Amino acid sequence: MAYSEKVIDHYENPRNVGSLDQEDESVGTGLVGAPACGDVMRLQIRVNDAGVIEDAKFKTFGCGSAIASSSLATEWIKGKTIDEAGTILNSQIAEELSLPPVKIHCSVLAEDAIKSAIEDFRKKRAAKQALSSES
Amino acid sequence: MTLKFPIYMDNHATTPVDPRVLSAMLPYFTDTFGNAASRTHAYGWTAEAAVDDARDTIAQLIGAESGKEIVFTSGATESDNLAIKGVAEYYQAKGNHIITTTIEHKAVLDSCKRLEKQGFTVTYVNVGADGLIDPQAIEAAMTDKTILVSVMLANNEVGTIQPIAELGKLTRARGVLLHCDAVQGLGKTPFDVKSMNVDLASLTAHKIYGPKGVGALYVRRSKPRVRLSALMDGGGHERGNRSGTLNVPGIVGFAKACKILLEEGAVEAEKIRALRDRLYQKITKELDSVILNGSAERRLPGNLNISFAFVEGEGLMMAIKDVAVSSGSACTSASLEPSYVLRSMGLPEDMAHSSIRFGLGRFNTEEEVDYVAELVIGKVKRLRDMSPLYEMHKAGIDINSIQWAAH
């Protein structure tokens, strides 16, 4: 199957590959997909006190479209607030990368990864606030 | 020597026509173009003589008694359909049970599925983790209604060579017919219909450096004489088994391809096996967590089906696009289901997604193997650096212990 130029670009020059410290309280981690399905994405965000995503990293097990979707997702969310990042839709990712119908699930997974990372960060922040209000 | 890209290592899918085969075919397109069924002039006689010579050569390669046992078809899919449906229809008064395996080609499996809709019963015997059929499992599946057992000589994905001779003993003793889809193994591993007691065998030219669009079905003529109901109605060619004007140039090419294998097949197999082993050794020397799928010993010389754990097959193929290979990852298919062959062997789905099939053949060189090995090693390392699963593996986390959400 033929890949779009943008998919090939992200696949060959992936942006923001790597890891952030999962234990760091300013870091949110989203791990979505399943090895049995052939796609696993891990997307991590570092959020500052103003709620802005200062850094984003990903690692993906999957096809070229899955790698490109996660690479693009990290590129898009960097510099956005977590509220803004949470509004990114899979359809926008699919459109930007010209994903064929059979690859739409890759963009769905990228959207899930963003949402999951934000949720993880929010949980951590809520737990931290609960802890500081107790003391 | 300069390398030609992409390097072709998908010889299970098809093979290039050998130049010697092409030369043998050419006159039959233009000068001696006759219809082998024309009885009234020299054009027809010449074509018929060429076809009869071809039958004898093909019969010789598979150890058949006579060229008369070769029925030409359009390819292996048609041969499989003709064997299974033709036997089922002809022998339905005798029984309605067929036994096959879960790793057969779709032409066999889907023919069986259609027969099930028509009231036949089919038992699909599973293979072991090594991709091999246990003859005892076939024997255990036999009933007094069994008319046919269909088992492939060698698997198209993992290259495993099935125990056809053992199966032939069982089927012969029970008076059951044995069909063997011999497409992948022909000329690459010993195959002899006489000593193996095979009653029907599907063959095709394009997997043995012959042209596409021509195949054959071996149909035993004595002890027992196998009868078929034809699939196509028409001029009654091929002793009524397969109507349709014969593809004379294709048949001549098919026979030339068989002739080359008769003369060079054994030596060639060893050369290809050495290349395959070189590729495997180079890769496993540099990379950890590489798993060979299917038996190492009972395997086609050119087949290397390996899973690169923590790397997805389609993603890897994109990285090694300079090499033409295939993957058990069906990420491109609408179903997103990985290979049914690998799953039948009990391979976990993630490992099926991580599999790549290298199919080496006559025209591959040591230089190509070295290039491909280096490329694969580099790209797998790169993709593993990007893989969350490999990071977890290195951190000592068992990925099977994680609750993954299905999607």
Q: Is A106 annotated in the active site?
A: yes
Tokens 């090694």, located at residue: B320
CA distance B246 to B227: 21
What are the chain A neighbours of B332 within 8 Å (beta carbons)?
1, 102
Helices (H), B10-95: 19-25, 27-30, 42-62, 76-90
Are residues A109 and B407, on separate chains, in Cβ contact within 8 Å? yes
Of the residues A34, A37, A89, A127, only one is catalytic, namely A37
Number of helices and strands in chain A (H, E): 5, 3
Q: Among partner residues A40, A105, A112, which is closest to B388 by beta-carbon distance?
A: A40
β strands within B280-322, DSSP E: 290-292, 303-308
Looking at residue B406, what is its pLDDT? 61
What are the backbone dihedrals phi and psi of residue A107, each rounded to the nearest 5 degrees, phi first? Answer: -75, -35
- The tally of CA atoms less than 13 A away on the side-chain side of residue B111 is 27
Q: Percent of chain B at pLDDT above 70?
A: 98
Mean pLDDT, rounded, for B359-388:
97
β strands within A48-88, DSSP E: 53-61
Burial class (CB in 10 A: 0-12, 13-18, 19+), A52: middle
Going across the sheet that includes B70-73, the strands are B70-73, B215-219, B200-204, B177-181, B146-150, B97-101, B121-125
Cβ contact B356:B293 at 8 Å: no
Cβ-based neighbour number of residue B218 at 10 Å: 26
CA distance B219 to B6: 39
Looking at residue A2, what is its pLDDT? 77
Distance from the B331 Cα atom to the nearest Cα atom in chain A, whole angstroms: 7
CA distance B15 to B210: 8
Residue range B41-70, pLDDT digits in tens: 999 999 999 999 999 999 999 999 999 999
Residue range B112-163, pLDDT digits in tens: 999 999 999 999 999 999 999 999 999 999 999 999 999 999 999 999 999 9
Are residues A32 and B331, on separate chains, in Cβ contact within 8 Å? no
* Average pLDDT, 10 consecutive residues per value, chain A (135 residues): 89 96 96 92 97 97 95 97 97 96 94 97 92 76
Structure tokens at B304: 């290397």
Structure tokens at A11: 């696949």
Mean pLDDT, rounded, for B61-90:
98
CB-based contact, B386 to chain A, within 8 Å: yes
CA distance A4 to A6: 5
Burial class (CB in 10 A: 0-12, 13-18, 19+), B102: middle
Looking at residue B330, what is its pLDDT? 59
Q: Are strands B290-292 and B7-8 parallel, antiparallel or unpaired?
A: unpaired
Cβ contact B332:B314 at 8 Å: yes
Of the residues A66, A85, A97, A106, only one is catalytic, namely A106
Cβ-based neighbour number of residue B269 at 10 Å: 18
The CA distances from residue B38 to B24, B33, B54, B242, in Å, are 21, 11, 18, 17
Which of B311, B312, B351 is the best mutation test for A, with the most CBs of A within 10 A? B312
Distance from the B217 Cα atom to the nearest Cα atom in chain A, whole angstroms: 34
Residue range B307-333, pLDDT digits in tens: 999 999 989 999 999 999 998 775 544
Mean pLDDT, rounded, for B5-33:
97
CA distance B214 to B252: 10
Structure tokens at A14: 């992936």
Are residues B350 and A66, on separate chains, in Cβ contact within 8 Å? no
Distance from the B293 Cα atom to the nearest Cα atom in chain A, whole angstroms: 17
CA distance B281 to B294: 16
Are residues A1 and B332, on separate chains, in Cβ contact within 8 Å? yes
Read off the DSSP letter of residue A17: B
Q: Which 3 state secondary structure label does DSSP give B105?
A: coil
Cβ contact B174:B123 at 8 Å: no
**If you average pLDDT over every residue of chain B, what do you get?**
95
Which of B335, B343, B386 is the best mutation test for A, with the most CBs of A within 10 A? B386
Cβ contact B166:B193 at 8 Å: no
Q: If you compute the radius of gyration of chain A from its CA atoms, what whole number of angstroms results?
A: 15
CA distance B292 to B275: 16
Of B61, B48, B59, nearest in space to B221 by CA = B59
Cβ contact B6:B322 at 8 Å: yes
The CA distances from residue A70 to A29, A35, A94, in Å, are 13, 16, 11
Q: Are strands A53-61 and B7-8 parallel, antiparallel or unpaired?
A: unpaired
What are the chain A neighbours of B407 within 8 Å (beta carbons)?
32-34, 37, 39, 105, 108-109, 112
Looking at residue B99, what is its pLDDT? 98
Beta bridge partners of B73: B215
Looking at residue A134, what is its pLDDT? 73
Q: Among partner residues B386, B389, B391, which is closest to A67 by beta-carbon distance?
A: B386
Beta bridge partners of B178: B149
